[in-house]
């Protein structure tokens, strides 16, 4: 990203590393994430105005704990350590880190030294989100405590002379009442940022980057699902290279009801591009026959997607690049950073198989890879895309196959298509402000006894899901009108064959994921 101030975020494998980056970007400062394995020289080559050290799952006292070049603290560049980043800073610079007598987890009242530039304009006490087993018991030389709780003397520490700050709590999560102020204070009060990062800046840089990667004559094929991410990627790449982009929509048979027809309408009339529609329903159903394991499903579908694209690329002269609508939640849930957990595999993460890579010799074009869903939508709006397209319901690449618990059959696909269509119809009757961020029906693998028409039934149960979120990293259950849920449930039981029970999922993310598989 050229011509903008930059914060480098060093990732130690935390699940919410990119959430920190998102908070930085919300403050209109560009943030780039790098692995803790990145050499210091490479970090310095990026000319950061500040460095943030993320949290992580390890203890700094572990023999194999991730570390960083101690010289990072001697460059005169402001540093902010968060959670593991604080413990690492203390440990590296001569302080003491010990196992806490009482672990702190959740919302904890913290007393702040509001005379510190890190906490300027904040309340003297507010709630912060803690999640740690180890903590700093003695600060390094030159550091003082600037925040404390009942059980933690060093909720934050600072060496103002060297512009090194660290916090034990997580300012990036919404549970920390004034967390965003902490991040903004670091950016503006400590690093001297000017706030030169906007979505229009991103678009300009992304277009320039696409043109540089593809070159003046390169041709790109994009895997278009019809969802928000791939649609915005199509618009962005189209803006960069025009007719040299071809979009391939693969109907794998696990689409929502009437989805293929809707995609054809949008991308041939409302937002015309070079569009190829591939009917691969039989191919994918054959591939998944008898498969019940969620990870196996995802990987089989992902692999088959790539081979479908490769088959189509053979028919398109001169195509050297494969484009995808990959966004960052896909990346981190797939465990792309060393030390982070694999939550679930995403078909568009992890590179290309060797035999397919030989066809797409230019590699992958992924202009949205570092953005969250809400940022992708802002890009779409900035590009002038139709409102309905930008704000349509998210839909996973594997489609309804991961909304069917257990093995996938044509009959089960039809059941969930019909149930999902009814659920979406009822929610869409609500005012826009009341609608969830994502809502769908899933077919459970549970069968139960019911009574219909005075006769015993033994059929499947449908689970309804409705969540509210901004970044899709965390999600709350949407409280919907009872009438909406009961009307949908009654319609599903009456109108969808082989369903005699409907349930509503009240689980947040975490501990659940938004999708069932």
- Give the active site residues: 83, 170, 172
Q: Are 236 and 383 in contact (CB under 8 A)?
A: yes
Residue among 260, 248, 262 at smallest CA distance from 312: 248
Structure tokens at 350: 């992890």
Could you list the beta-strand ranges (E) of 430-482. 438-452, 455-468, 476-477
Residue among 227, 517, 9, 327 at smallest CA distance from 336: 327
State whether the Cα torsion 501-502-506-508 is positive or negative. Answer: positive
- In angstroms, the CA 184 to CA 176 distance is 14
Q: Are 403 and 505 in contact (CB under 8 A)?
A: no
Angle in degrees, CA 346, 283, 273, rounded to 5: 65
Q: Which residues contact 24 (CB under 8 A, 6 or more apart)?
A: 7, 9, 30, 31, 52, 183, 187
Q: Which residues contact 506 (CB under 8 A, 6 or more apart)?
A: 477
Task: Report CA dihedral (507, 510, 514, 517) to the nearest 10 degrees.
Answer: -100
- In angstroms, the CA 6 to CA 25 distance is 10
CB atoms near residue 281 (< 10 Å): 17
Q: Which residues contact 78 (CB under 8 A, 6 or more apart)?
A: 49, 50, 51, 163, 164, 165, 186, 190, 191
Look up residue 175 and give its DSSP letter.
T
């Amino acid at each position: 990203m050229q011509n903008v101030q930059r914060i480098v975020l060093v990732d130690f494998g935390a699940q919410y590393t990119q959430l920190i980056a998102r908070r930085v970007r919300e403050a209109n400062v560009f943030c780039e994430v790098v692995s803790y394995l990145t050499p210091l020289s490479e970090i310095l080559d990026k000319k950061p105005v500040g460095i943030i050290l993320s949290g992580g799952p390890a203890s700094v006292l572990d023999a194999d704990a991730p570390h960083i070049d101690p010289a990072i603290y001697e460059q005169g560049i402001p540093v902010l350590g968060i959670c593991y980043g604080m413990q690492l800073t203390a440990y590296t610079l001569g302080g003491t880190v010990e196992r806490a007598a009482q672990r702190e987890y959740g919302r904890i009242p913290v007393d702040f030294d509001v005379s510190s530039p890190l906490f300027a304009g904040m309340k003297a006490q507010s709630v912060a989100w803690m999640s740690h087993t180890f903590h700093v018991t003695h600060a390094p030389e030159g550091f003082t405590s600037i925040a404390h709780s009942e059980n933690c003397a060093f909720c934050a520490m600072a060496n103002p002379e060297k512009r090194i700050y660290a916090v034990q709590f997580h300012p990036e999560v919404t549970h920390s009442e004034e967390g965003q102020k902490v991040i903004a204070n670091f950016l503006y009060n400590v690093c001297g940022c000017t706030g030169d990062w906007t979505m229009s800046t991103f678009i300009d840089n992304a277009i320039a980057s696409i043109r540089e990667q593809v070159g003046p004559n390169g041709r790109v094929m994009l895997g278009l699902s019809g969802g928000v991410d791939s649609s915005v990627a199509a618009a962005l790449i189209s803006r960069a290279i025009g007719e040299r982009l071809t979009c391939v929509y693969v109907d794998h048979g696990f689409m929502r009801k009437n989805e293929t027809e809707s995609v054809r309408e949008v991308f041939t009339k409302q937002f015309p591009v070079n569009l190829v529609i591939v009917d691969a329903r039989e191919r994918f159903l054959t591939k998944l026959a008898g498969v019940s394991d969620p990870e196996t499903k995802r990987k089989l579908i992902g692999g088959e997607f790539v081979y479908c694209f490769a088959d189509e690329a053979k028919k398109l002269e001169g195509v050297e690049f494969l484009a995808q609508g990959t966004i960052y939640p896909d990346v981190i849930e797939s465990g792309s950073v060393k030390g982070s957990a694999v939550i679930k595999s995403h078909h568009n993460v992890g590179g290309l198989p060797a035999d397919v890579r030989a066809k797409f010799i230019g590699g992958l074009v992924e202009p949205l890879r570092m953005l969250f869903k809400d940022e992708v939508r802002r890009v779409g709006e900035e590009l002038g895309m139709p409102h309905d397209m930008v704000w349509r319901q998210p839909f996973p690449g594997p489609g309804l196959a991961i909304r069917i618990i257990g093995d996938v059959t044509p009959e089960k696909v039809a059941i969930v298509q019909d149930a999902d269509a009814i659920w979406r119809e009822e929610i869409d009757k609500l005012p826009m402000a009341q609608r969830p961020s994502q809502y769908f029906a899933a077919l459970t693998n549970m069968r139960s006894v019911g009574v219909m028409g005075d006769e015993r039934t033994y059929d499947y149960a449908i689970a309804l899901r409705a969540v509210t979120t901004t970044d899709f990293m965390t999600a709350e259950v949407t409280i919907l009108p009872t009438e909406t849920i009961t009307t949908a449930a009654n319609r599903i039981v009456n109108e969808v064959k082989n369903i005699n029970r409907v349930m509503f999922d009240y689980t947040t993310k975490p501990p659940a994921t938004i999708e069932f598989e």
